[in-house]
Amino acid sequence: NAGVTQTPKFQVLKTGQSMTLQCAQDMNHNSMYWYRQDPGMGLRLIYYSASEGTTDKGEVPNGYNVSRLNKREFSLRLESAAPSQTSVYFCASSEDRGYGYTFGSGTRLTVV
């Protein structure tokens, strides 16, 4: 019963370093998402992929890039990490737009 698998669970980066967050789902969902969650704020959409082969910007895309590698996998890359990117990152998937989401367990990222 894997659902959505995210790696890593924790990461500490120095300012300017790069990293890729990995996400995979085994539910044959068409759509995948990357969100960040900060204290006192709702989840904010970084990027999404409506279907395999497409990606689009969300509310807060600056400083991030994504790749929809295949139907199962959707990665998020930070090219040059900044302290403002310290957050909890969640990957999610859904059958299609307007459907409920299944979330991964999250990545706690600290940029120092």
Partner 1 sequence: RKEVEQDPGPFNVPEGATVAFNCTYSNSASQSFFWYRQDCRKEPKLLMSVYSSGNEDGRFTAQLNRASQYISLLIRDSKLSDSATYLCVVNTGGFKTIFGAGTRLFVKA
Task: Give the footprint of partner 1 on this chain (CB under 8 A).
Answer: 31, 33, 35, 40-45, 48, 50, 56, 90, 97-106
Considering the complex, what minimum distance in angstroms separates the CB of residue 56 from partner 1?
7
Rg of the chain's alpha carbons, rounded to an integer? Answer: 13
User: Between residues 63 and 106, which has the closer beta carbon with respect to partner 1?
Assistant: 106
Report in angstroms how near the CB of residue 16 gets to partner 1 at its nearest. 28
Nearer to partner 1, 10 or 14 (CB): 10
- Shortest reach from residue 80's CB to partner 1, in Å: 27
Question: Please, which residue, 79 or 96, has the CB nearer to partner 1?
Answer: 96
Q: How far apart are CA 68 and CA 112, in angstroms?
A: 28
DSSP 53-98: T--EE-S--TTEEEEE-SSSBEEEEESS--GGG-EEEEEEEESSTT
Nearest distance, CB of residue 100 and partner 1, angstroms: 4
CA atoms 47, 50, 56, 60: torsion sign: negative
